[in-house]
Amino acid sequence: GEVWGIGPATALKLYEKGHRTLEDLKNEDSLTHAQRLGLKYFDDIRTRIPRHEVQEMEQLLQRVGEEVLPGVDIVCGGSYRRGKPTQV
């Protein structure tokens, strides 16, 4: 899997520095704040979300969005919009 915030070029640099596991990366000083968050929440980010939960979140966001900006239309994208049973 990929760590959010670490693209192919950075991954190659980290690999060349000897990093092979997520555990190796935890002590890497050159990681940005975003990359550290990606590492910290790696498992959470990869966890699939059941469709009904995404639907509930979308409805909540739509209600809140309407309060802030009447007429706004909130639509979840990605695998939810494509009709998949679980979303990343």
Q: Can you list the domains of the chain with their CATH numbers?
A: 8-46 (1.10.150.20), 49-87 (no CATH)
The tens digit of pLDDT for each residue in 16-75 reads 999 999 999 998 999 999 999 999 999 988 888 899 999 999 999 999 999 999 999 999
Instruction: Please count the other Cβ atoms lying within 10 Å of the Cβ belonging to residue 85.
Output: 10
Cα 19 to Cα 14, 26, 29, 40, 88, distances in angstroms: 6, 10, 12, 16, 26
| Cα Rg, the chain, nearest whole Å | 18
Model's pTM, two decimal places? Answer: 0.64
| DSSP conformation class of 27 | T
